[in-house]
Structure 1
Amino acid sequence: MVATPIGNLADITLRALHVLQLVDIIACEDTRHTQALLRAYGIDKPAGSLVALHQHNEAQAAQQVLARLQQGQRVAYVSDAGTPGVSDPGARLVDSITAAGMRCIPLPGASSVTTALSAAGAIGTGNHSTGFLFAGFLPSRGAERRTAVQALAGEPRSVLILEAPHRIRDLAQALGVLGTRRVTLARELTKQFEEITSHVAQDLDAWLEAAPQRSKGEFVVVLHPTELAPQQSQALDVLRLLLQELPTKTAVRLAAQITGAARNTLYDAALQEKSTGS
């Protein structure tokens, strides 16, 4: 599984170049796009060595890839941009390969998700680390989108959403219900017209409307974590200390008694602490 640049061609890794040159077969989301990418790096592959594997044929094409592997051939998979299997095809391919008892090797590289996160300043560290939720693309239909946004409104962690240019205004309008929650828009990441800007949710649509070019390009939208009230922050600090010495249920019960915070809220926070290894 080979990550490829999301824009700037210089973001390819040396390992990716070595593997793409070495393999017998390259399965790819779009053979024309991948052929052009290979030529940009001076890698010459015959047309027959590229196999189309995209969202519409992934299940069937995965079996073709599996057959190639069983013949002893070396196969790499690339999506059109970024890391395969993250809102791109590839997950079914991996599932088929691992189910057959074969090894799937990830080659890390560019990802719009981590690229946006690194520049958004939306995740703290230490006792203030919140983690993040990757929501991918929200539903395109208005009512379903509004329902999804309402569900995310109660999510205290950072939330990452992907969006296409022709729907970004609709998303911005839907996010307006989040009021003063801070949101970072990352547009055209690593490309010539890259733009990363932060606003409160209720101002997003007006900002996009102010200049037509602001709605162009692929977007990663980062909802920043919700601000904790002082008593909530204190309750979480108490909970973290108790979790170091006590079982989860006992720590939650005592933290609720000490701070007056809701037990359900503290229990959810405790599960998150456990899952993140904090």
Structure 2
Amino acid sequence: MASKSADAHDLSRPKAETRDRRFAIGVTSFNAPAAEPALHIVSTPIGNLGDITVRALETLAGCDLVACEDTRVTRVLMERYGLSTPLIAYHEHNATKTGPKLLAALDEGKAVAIVSDAGTPLISDPGYRLVGAAVEAGHKVIPTPGASAILAALVGAGLPSDTILFAGFLPPKKSARLARLEELKGVSATTVFYESPRRLSATLADMIEAHGPDHQVCVARELTKRFETFERGTLGEVAGRFAETPKGEIVIVLAPAQAREVDAADVEEMLREALFDMPVSAAAAHVAKRTGGDRKALYKQALAIRKASEGGETGNAGEED
């Protein structure tokens, strides 16, 4: 049972009461109920087609229309599970033209599903624009969770997962990429990036420049597929394993920044540097953020330094809030 692509006329047909809403798992066929009129965000496999959920299959079968990045890619999934719901391409190059058509279908009370080529929609793709427009127009949005390259890489990396930051794709040019890495340098969270295979070596080199060769990292490749790999170790070690351009999709999981251990002399030096161009309260807050120290204690110390430097007088004694 093959799926078909939707054209402008397909948005208003087939009728809900006549369209085939079956899906198949192996040799067994199931009938899906008509999906609730809404925009359904449906997660699909990131590689292994067996990672689809039953709820996702029911939703794709029960919707009136499936919006996808590439109909050729989604059709493979549809044919695997005997789905016949019409497909329509929706991606960054046609979003302005196709988005209003999808909203019109929602206005007519239809159930519209949106999928990406792989994984959870809206993660580094333009689907968020459609969701935003649907919400603004008063339509219900229903997420159907499932496979995600971010989570698959994170749980397989062996790095802290209590606090995470997804940073998407880094800029392609070296200067901009280094600037972005510097912005993220002090983040006390495990940071997850997507990267293209051809830029992986350059990106790892820039990460070494920003974080040093001893910073822990994991590079996950071809997640859920036959040649899935996790390369774990220091940036220096892992970068050496990718001297040649690898094949497949890449996820980089970078360990959190380590809190700098400082002694009393370090703290005093930081305060003196901060006081050079900051008032006492701002200097205390600045050093507290860098060291994790108590702001009030640092304020008192900074105030004492300021008084000593001014011969026992200060105009900032009342600035603590």
Q: Indicate whether the TM-score tops 0.5.
A: yes
Q: For 1:159-174, what aligned pairs fall within 5 Å after superposition?
A: 159-174=191-206
Q: In the alignment, does 2:121 pair up with 1:84?
A: yes
Q: With structure 1 as the length reference, what TM-score do the two structures score?
A: 0.78
Q: In the alignment, does 2:194 pair up with 1:194?
A: no
In structure 2, relative to structure 1, the CA distance for the partners of 1:148 and 1:63 (3 Å cut) is: same
Count residues with an aligned counterpart. Answer: 234
Match of 2:29 in 1: none
| Bigger helix fraction | 1
Q: Of the candidates 45, 53, 59, which is equivalent to residue 13 of structure 1? A: 53
Q: In the alignment, does 2:235 pair up with 1:204?
A: no
Q: With structure 2 as the length reference, what TM-score do the two structures score?
A: 0.68
Cα distance, 1:60 vs. partner?
2.8
Q: Is the 8 A contact 2:262 2:291 kept in 1?
A: no
Match of 2:253 in 1: 222
Q: Is the 8 A contact 2:231 2:238 kept in 1?
A: no
Match of 1:249 in 2: none
Letter in 2 for 1:150: E
Give the Cα–Cα distance (whole angstroms) in 2 for the partners of residues 269 and 157 of structure 1.
21
Give the Cα–Cα distance (whole angstroms) in 2 for the partners of residues 269 and 24 of structure 1.
58
Instruction: Point out where structure 1 has 5 or more consecutive residues left out of the alignment.
Output: 233-252, 271-278
Q: For 1:1-278, what aligned pairs fall within 5 Å after superposition?
A: 1-45=41-85, 49-123=86-160, 129=162, 131-177=163-209, 178-179=211-212, 180-209=214-243, 212=244, 215-229=246-260, 262-265=287-290
Give the Cα–Cα distance (whole angstroms) in 2 for the partners of residues 51 and 12 of structure 1.
20
Give the Cα–Cα distance (whole angstroms) in 1 for the partners of residues 149 and 195 of structure 2.
11
Cα distance, 1:215 vs. partner?
1.6
Letter in 2 for 1:205: A
Cα distance, 1:28 vs. partner?
0.7
In structure 2, relative to structure 1, the CA distance for the partners of 1:266 and 1:172 (3 Å cut) is: closer
Q: Is the 8 A contact 2:288 2:294 kept in 1?
A: no
Give the Cα–Cα distance (whole angstroms) in 1 for the partners of residues 132 and 107 of structure 2.
15
Give the Cα–Cα distance (whole angstroms) in 1 for the partners of residues 294 and 119 of structure 2.
32
Letter in 2 for 1:86: I
Letter in 2 for 1:138: L
Give the Cα–Cα distance (whole angstroms) in 2 for the partners of residues 269 and 195 of structure 1.
43
Q: Is the 8 A contact 1:176 1:204 kept in 2?
A: no
SS at match of 1:222: strand
Letter in 1 for 2:115: V
Q: Is the 8 A contact 1:63 1:96 kept in 2?
A: no
- RMSD of aligned residue pairs (Cα, Å): 2.5
Letter in 1 for 2:77: L
Letter in 1 for 2:170: L
Identity across the alignment (%) = 40
SS at match of 1:61: helix
Cα distance, 1:4 vs. partner?
0.3
Q: Is the 8 A contact 1:27 1:51 kept in 2?
A: yes
